[in-house]
């Protein structure tokens, strides 16, 4: 049995798993298209225009412009995380899709890698749908905001790997509610999304920077879409790249243990 830190052997056949999920997505594109579109409108209307009326500007940036990149970051996180937790668990346990694919020349590593790539793709699709809405509202800057697309893929792959770690160890699908409520919700609230990190106590600032993946994605999204420069740029890029590799390697090895057992 490979060690949890062993680098998995992935082949180009993983693209077949990605293609399978894309084909399913295309067949139900109408259902999948509107949620990100409506979500952008709701965030901008309720928080940006509503609460923003009382908040004013943050660091010289109008509040609605301040939260726009955070909306993209949150969407990236949610799309990948829930696709690779609930979505992957259903395909693995209830639909038995993983068993069927592993019965072909596809290896376990290829199947999970394909799932991770699909989780990242879901993030890209969601961000690509939301971005024009933000442009229409004139809360992001073109062409710099197009950098949100590659950031969505990297961030999506990071959260897909994190999600698959939980999928690999959860005994039943209901257990996935724990990381959803105890990890995803706190990150959404305390990662510099709706207010600056500097408002938090210093200790909590260090904790969010050290432990919350969303914090670094928000920083990079904000730098890309406003655009602004920041001292944390190299730190956030390095943190995300390292976390993405670590999460993906661990998740593939954990899933291999589960599926073989």
* pLDDT at residue 33 tops 80: no
| Residues 221-257: tens digit of each pLDDT | 998 887 665 677 889 999 999 999 999 999 999 999 9
The pTM assigned to this predicted structure is 0.94
Q: What is the pLDDT of residue 227?
A: 67
Distance between terminal CA atoms of the chain?
A: 10
What pLDDT is attached to residue 57? Answer: 84
Arithmetic mean of pLDDT over the chain: 90
CB 118 within 8 A of CB 22: yes
Give the per-residue pLDDT at 76: 96
DSSP 176-211: GHHHIIIIIHHHHHHSSSSS-GGGS-HHHHHHHHHH
* Average pLDDT over every residue of 200-213: 93
Alpha helices in the chain (DSSP H): 14-27, 29-42, 52-55, 63-82, 88-89, 97-102, 108-136, 148-169, 177-179, 185-190, 202-211, 213-225, 233-260
Report the pLDDT value the prediction gives residue 2, as an integer from 0 to 100.
59
- Boundaries of every domain in the chain: 14-260
Continuous segment of H or E residues that includes residue 60: none
């Amino acid at each position: 049995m490979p060690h949890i830190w062993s680098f998995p052997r992935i082949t180009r056949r993983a693209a077949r798993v990605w293609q399978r999920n894309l084909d399913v997505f295309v067949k139900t594109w109408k259902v999948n298209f509107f949620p990100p579109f409506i979500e952008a409108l709701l965030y901008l209307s309720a928080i940006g225009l509503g609460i923003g009326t009382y908040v004013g500007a943050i660091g010289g940036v109008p509040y609605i412009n301040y939260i726009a990149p955070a909306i993209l970051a949150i969407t990236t996180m949610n799309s990948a995380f829930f696709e690779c937790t609930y979505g992957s668990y259903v395909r693995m346990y209830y639909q038995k899709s993983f068993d069927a694919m592993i019965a072909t020349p596809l290896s376990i590593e290829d199947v999970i890698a394909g799932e991770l790539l699909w989780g990242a793709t879901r993030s890209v699709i969601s961000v690509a749908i939301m971005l024009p809405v933000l442009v229409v509202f004139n809360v992001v800057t073109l062409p710099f905001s197009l950098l949100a697309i590659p950031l969505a893929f990297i961030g999506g792959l990071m959260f897909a790997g994190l999600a698959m770690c939980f999928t690999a160890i959860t005994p039943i699908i209901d257990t996935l509610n724990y990381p959803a409520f105890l990890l995803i919700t706190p990150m959404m609230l305390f990662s510099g999304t709706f207010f600056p990190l500097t408002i938090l106590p210093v200790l909590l600032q260090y904790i969010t920077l050290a432990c919350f993946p969303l914090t670094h994605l928000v920083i990079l999204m904000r730098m890309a879409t406003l655009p602004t420069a920041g001292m944390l740029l190299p730190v956030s890029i390095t943190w995300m790249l390292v976390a993405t590799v670590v999460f993906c390697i661990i998740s593939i090895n954990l899933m291999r243990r589960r599926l073989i057992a």
